[in-house]
Structure 1
Amino acid sequence: MPLKTQLHAACQAYVQQRIEACQHAMQAAQESANSETKSSAGDKYETGRAMAQNERDRNAVQLQQAKQLQGELDRIQSEKPCDTVRPGALVHTSMGRFYISISAGKVSVEGLDYFAVSAAAPVAAALSGKRAGEQALFNGKPVQIQGIE
C-alpha cells in the first residue's frame, strides 16, 4: 500500500476513534440523565439532570467537529501526486515529514514518524505552494523542502 494511502488511513482511523468516543460519551451522559430520580432534595435532581445535559451537549459539539474533520479528510485525494505543498501532499523537510490533511498529530508508518497537520496549521501555511528544493521560513528559521509526494 502506498505511503500516502497508509497515512490517509491512519488519519481516518483517528477521526473514527474520535467519533466513537463522542458517541459513547453522549450515550453515557444521556443514561446518567435518565437514571436521575426525584428525591426529597428536588434541586439536586434538577442539577444532576442539567449537568448531564450539559455534558451531552458538549460531546455533541465535539462530535460535530469530528464529523467536520471527516468531511475535510474525505475531500483529500491522497492517491493524487503532488508537486507543490497543498492538502494531500506528503512533504519531506529539514525539520520533519508532514502529511497535509487534518490535525491528527504524530502518525507512525513503517517505523517512521510523520506529522498529520491541517492546511491551516502554521507550518503548513509557511510551506504552502512551495516546491521541492525551495525554502520557507517557519518561526524565523529556514526550512528546506527536500521532497513532495
Structure 2
Amino acid sequence: MIELKKLLYKKCMEYVDERIASIESALLASHDASVNDTKSSAGDKYETTREMMQQEISRNSLQLMEAKKLRISMNKLSPDSTSPIVKPGSYVCTTNGNFYISISAGLIQIGEKSTYAVSHFSPIGKLLLGLQSGETITVNNQTYTILSVQ
C-alpha cells in the first residue's frame, strides 16, 4: 500500500507542476502581449486592450499563487507514513471508492486502482478526517463505510 501512496503522491505533484507550468506560460504570454502592444490611433481601444491584458495578468498571478499553495500542501505530506486514523496523506478504502487525502486533483488511475485525490477541506475530506476503519459517513445520500486507512 505504501508503493501505491508513493505513486499517488507523485501523480499529485505532477498535477501541481503541470498546473504551475501552464499558468506561468499564460502569464508570460500575457506579459509579452502587454509589452509588445503598440498604441493605435484609436486611443480608447488601446486603453481597453491594455486593461484587459492587465486583468488577465492579475487573474493568472492569483491562480499561480493558489497552485504554489497546492505544492506547499503536498510538500507537507509523507507518502511513507501510515496511521489508523484518517489525516492528510492517508489512503482511505471505502465501500464506495478509494480516496487519497491530499489535494483536489480528481480521479487518478494507477493500474487497476481508481482513487480520488481529495483535499481535506473538501466536503468528503472533512467528513473522513479523524475517522478509522469501520466508521461510516454519508455524502449526497450515499453511504461510505471505511474498510481500511493507510
With the shorter chain as reference, the TM-score category is over 0.9
State how 1:36-51 maps to structure 2 within 5 Å. Answer: 36-51=37-52
Give per-residue Cα distances to partners, 1:108-132, cap 9 Å, x unaligned. 1123211000001111111221111
Task: Give me the CA root mean square deviation.
Answer: 1.3
Give per-residue Cα distances to partners, 1:21-63, cap 9 Å, x unaligned. 1100000101111121111111111111111111111000000
State how 1:50-65 maps to structure 2 within 5 Å. Answer: 50-65=51-66
SS in 2 for 1:77: coil
Q: Structure 2: 5+ residue runs without aligned partners? A: none
Q: Structure 1: 5+ residue runs without aligned partners? A: none
C-alpha distance in structure 2 between counterparts of 1:104 and 1:23, whole Å = 19
Q: Is 1:126 the equivalent of 2:134?
A: no
State how 1:16-27 maps to structure 2 within 5 Å. Answer: 16-27=17-28
SS in 2 for 1:137: strand
Q: TM-score of the superposition, structure 2-length normalised? A: 0.94
Q: TM-score of the superposition, structure 1-length normalised? A: 0.95
Number of residue pairs aligned between Structure 1 and Structure 2: 149
- Report how far residue 139 of structure 1 moved: 3.0
SS in 2 for 1:52: helix
Runs of 4+ displaced beyond 2 Å: 136-142
Query: Are 1:82 and 1:88, in contact at CA under 8 Å, matched by a contact in 2?
Result: no
The share of aligned pairs that are identical, in percent, is 38
C-alpha distance in structure 2 between counterparts of 1:141 and 1:13, whole Å = 31
